[in-house]
Amino acid sequence: MISGQTPILILKEGTERQQGRNAQKNNIEAAKAIADAVRTTLGPKGMDKMLVDSIGDIVISNDGATILKEMDVDHPTAKMIVEASKSQDTAVGDGTTTVVVLAGELLKQAETLLEQGVHSTIIADGYHLAVVESRKELGELAAKANDDKTLRKIAITALSGKNTGVSAEFLSDLVVKAINAVSEERDGKTVVDTANIKVDKKSGGSASDTTFINGIIIDKERVHSKMPTVIKNAKIALINSALEIKKTEIDAKVQITDPSKIQDFLDQETDTMREMAEKIKKSGANVVLCQKGIDDTVQYYLAKDGIYAARRVKQSDMEKLAKATGAKMVTNLDDITGDVLGNADVVEERKIGDDRMTFVTGCVNPKAVSILIRGGTEHVVDEIERAMNDAIRVVAITKEDGKYLPGGGAIESELAMKLRTYSNSVGGREQLAIEAFAKALEIIPRTLAENSGLDPINTLIKLKSDHEKGNKTFGINMNDASISDMLSLGVFDTYRVKTHAIESAVEVATMILRIDDVIASKKSSAPAGGAPGGMGGMGGMGGMPPY
């Protein structure tokens, strides 16, 4: 500033602001803190977290996405890491902990380079070069997945360490059955829509009581006690309109001046209801599943005709029922004919735990199926459900891609070795960033070793030694603390999950690295009567001081 010149104030006096190295340091510390929070959950021997909310409800899980979703995170940079984890979960369904742990380590390694005077832009460029090379190497290391045995191994790996215990192998069979049932060939490609697999849960029993249903389970019971509880050779009508007399959309009054006409009016209502039941009976349907209400009178006539009926079935369940049974949804009862009815061997009401549910089973070549999860307690059932959903997603994308990778830290160790060699061909300061990337990748096998109670340094040394000898598929054997061939052990990782995890971790890490100024915006005002928000600290997790 020229001597004597008045300084120009751009921001309001007292506006909190962090600039340059201080801003970068705070952001990196927040990212490292949230990575440390979930790091102990990684791998088949990872620990669980108990999350307790303000009213005492608890969630027990070692699923990264669930933990981060339930955590009360304030720091803006930590929120970016959480968003990256959500993105990973939405895109591929697994690998959320890997993304967070890897992003935290990439920033930790970048911090060392920043202290040595390497610019953040050069670090970001080096990381992106490393990602391109990693993707190329992953493509070469991937093996073909073309049988159910491989898919089961993928499912077991996804289920391991998630409170499924000795049932992991049994549950993996159910997952593969479900995936094979809903997979389709389109334009020469395998497509698996996991939305067509309905996962229901009921506490009671054990995980080994979990069942695969070749059809759909509906969390509804029959509407009338006189209706049969079991219908064999079911002809199913799916109706998405109410089986009752609709109220007019405008205010209207019916005035009856002659008392003798009251009964005529009531009789006419009853006749209308009877006609509804008659139309269903004439179509040949012996099961009615209705998306909306069913009047008591209609219920009576359906029960009298021996027809099973359930009401207020969810739209999503109706769509799955149509895919499972081949039925077509109808709105107008005049459209119900034999051609629109679906088929199933059995429709029955069963009592599961304290609830009654409708089972539509024995569908021929269904394109929508169900898995009913059982477990000792509600918390166990919830965790098995999360594990099953992860397994379903990873098996589905493996079936679509037709390839997989060795697990147990084998891939990260091989990539680290290849990237160190590649960095020598790049040269310049980007070489330092690529070497930092390679070192960051080793956090995965290191963490797996730590969480298994092994010595992380000795384990990494052994692992590096084997990979230098050309044993590309060697990783950490958690059972006997050795370095073994992951392919022969059947420890498999999903190609798309691993690729997406590395890319997501680098994207969020480089975005954080490029931030050199953190300013409280005018939208960051605190709610009335509440604590300041916006860029508040993340208590105990490396957050900035509250604004």
Residue 322 in contact with residue 233, Cβ under 8 Å? no
486: helix, strand or coil? helix
Rg of the chain over Cα atoms, rounded to whole angstroms, equals 30
Block residue for tokens 């009615």: 288
Which helix (H) or strand (E) segment holds residue 266: the answer is helix 260-282
Give the start-end residues of each E strand in 70-112: none
Block residue for tokens 């930790």: 108
Question: Among residues 77, 97, 325, 510, which one is catalytic?
Answer: 97
From the list 505, 515, 533, the residue with the least C-alpha distance to 127 is: 505
As a whole number of angstroms, the distance between CA 512 and CA 31 comes to: 9
Which helix (H) or strand (E) segment holds residue 504: the answer is helix 495-513
Which helix (H) or strand (E) segment holds residue 371: the answer is strand 369-375
The token pair that represents 505 in the structure block: 């971790």
Give me the DSSP letters along 394-427: HHHHHHHH-EEEETTTHHHHHHHHHHHHHHHHH-
From the list 277, 309, 275, the residue with the least C-alpha distance to 292 is: 309
Residue 17 in contact with residue 521, Cβ under 8 Å? no
28: helix, strand or coil? helix
Quick check: is 258 catalytic?
no
As a whole number of angstroms, the distance between CA 386 and CA 93 comes to: 10
Quick check: is 96 catalytic?
yes
From the list 155, 145, 222, the residue with the least C-alpha distance to 194 is: 155
- The burial of 239, by beta-carbon neighbours within 10 Å (0-12 exposed, 13-18 middle, 19 or more buried), is given as buried
Which distant-in-sequence residues (6+ apart) come within 8 Å of 189 by Cβ?
400
Question: Among residues 41, 77, 96, 499, which one is catalytic?
Answer: 96
Question: Among residues 382, 390, 466, 493, which one is catalytic?
Answer: 390
As a whole number of angstroms, the distance between CA 166 and CA 227 comes to: 41
Q: How is residue 456 annotated by DSSP? A: H
Q: How many CA atoms lie within 13 A of 364 on its CB side?
A: 9
Whole-Å CA distances, 543 to 30, 65, 69, 86, 464: 6, 21, 18, 21, 36
Backbone phi, then psi, for 301, in 5-degree steps? -70, -35
As a whole number of angstroms, the distance between CA 464 and CA 442 comes to: 10
Block residue for tokens 């993996």: 172
Which helix (H) or strand (E) segment holds residue 290: the answer is strand 287-290
Quick check: is 390 catalytic?
yes
Quick check: is 63 catalytic?
yes
Which distant-in-sequence residues (6+ apart) come within 8 Å of 399 by Cβ?
145, 151, 179, 183, 190, 192
Give the catalytic positions in this structure: 63, 96-97, 390
